[in-house]
Amino acid sequence: MSAVTGKKPAASDQLRLLDHIQLEHLVAGTIAGITSTLALHPLDVLKIRFAVHDGRSNATPKYNSILSGFGTIYRNEGFRGLYRGVTPNIWGAGSSWGLYFLFYNATKNYMQKGNPSTVLGPASHLLAAAQSGFATLLLTNPLWVVKTRLCLEYCTETRRVTQYNGMMDCLTKIYAIEGIKGYYKGLVPGIFGISHGAVQFMVYEEMKKVYYHYYNLPAASKLGTIEYLTFSATSKLVAAFATYPYQVVRARLQNQHHHYDGTLDCIRQTWQYEGWRGFYKGLSTNLLRVTPATMITFWTYENISHLLLKRDKTVVLST
């Protein structure tokens, strides 16, 4: 039933994906992505630098440990060094999470034919998340290229390696030197990386579904802080272990200090010189970053989206 007219929507209307878009999810996801990014960006800088160091080149600095990395960056580059690339990261994370939650909830609502009480299976959650991830990746990949390159601008005690003067300068120079293709470096492993979000959302939704069933709660009920934090952390850990290698390959393809002849060449060289361990470089740093980041993101998103949707429902009913 339509809350405004009291009329049942036509079947054809129910089948239109655009009818299921709710901007509340975009707003909540954007705020959540920005919040977690500001809190944990220094770990992102360190993760990227660990990931691109292949042991064969001195183009990027080598750190012996996470604490050593933080200390070296702070000593050589100051506090600003820990926040290199934060501007495109805020734009990228905010827009990515906002668009992802927007597309995902619209697709899920479409599958449920507008009835949030309809229970979907793991395959449906996986498909909805994969479709949302692909659409989001196409729109935001240029921001991730810029973020990676700015994070790889660094200083040592003897030299300063910088090519870009901020986000807009980086965007301009990439286009001038590499054209549109430069904005989409790392897109292929990024497409494979869609599986990361798909696995994460599937596990997250399945955990919520089991919880609803166990406690006999209506689907889409608001849960407590502990539940959101536990489900989001667990789903992120599962997805991270399953799909991390694509992040290493993508970061290396986007690295301006080393050239590979495409994705397969990057995979071949990584395997040849570093073995399977090369595909998991930076994993510990990544887990330190993404686990609390995901907990902050999902908790913020769930609470803000419930608040906005409840507010809108109250406004509609009162008119």
Residue-wise pLDDT tens digits, 268-292:
999 999 998 999 888 887 788 789 9
Contact by Cβ (8 Å): 137, 190: yes
pLDDT digits (tens, 9 = 90+) for 144-195: 999 888 888 876 666 666 788 889 999 999 999 999 999 998 898 888 779 9
Mean pLDDT of the chain: 86
Residue 315: inside a domain: no
For residue 314, tell me if it sits in a domain. Answer: no
Residue 62: what pLDDT? 76
Domain annotation covers residue 137: yes
**In terms of C-beta density within 10 A (0-12 exposed, 13-18 middle, 19 or more buried), how is residue 318 classed?**
exposed
Nearest-angstrom CA–CA distance, 253 and 251 = 5
Residues pairing with 161 in the sheet? 154
Query: pLDDT at residue 265 above 50?
Result: yes
Residue 299 lies in a domain: yes
31 band by pLDDT with thresholds 50, 70 and 90: very high
Runs of H (alpha helix) within 53-193: 66-82, 86-111, 122-151, 167-178, 180-183, 187-192
When pLDDT is averaged across residues 226-240 and rounded to a whole number, the result is: 95
Classify residue 247: in a domain, yes or no: yes
How far is it, in rounded angstroms, from Cα 162 to Cα 220? 48
Nearest to 8 by CA among 125, 137, 132, 114: 114
Residue 3, domain member (yes or no): no
The region of weakest confidence among 12-26, 41-55, 134-148, 186-200 is 12-26
What range does the domain containing 247 cover? 12-307
Q: Is residue 317 a part of any domain in this protein?
A: no
Question: What CATH number is given to the structural domain containing 293?
Answer: 1.50.40.10
Q: How confident is the model at residue 65 (pLDDT cuts 50, 70, 90)?
A: confident
Closest CA to 239 of 193, 274, 278, 281: 193
Total number of residues shown for the chain: 319
Would you state the pLDDT for residue 64?
80
Question: Is 2 domain-assigned?
Answer: no
d(CA 269, CA 230): 38
Burial class of residue 108 (count of CB atoms within 10 Å of its CB; 0-12, 13-18, 19+): buried
Domain count, the chain: 1
- The pLDDT of 18-30, averaged and rounded, is 91
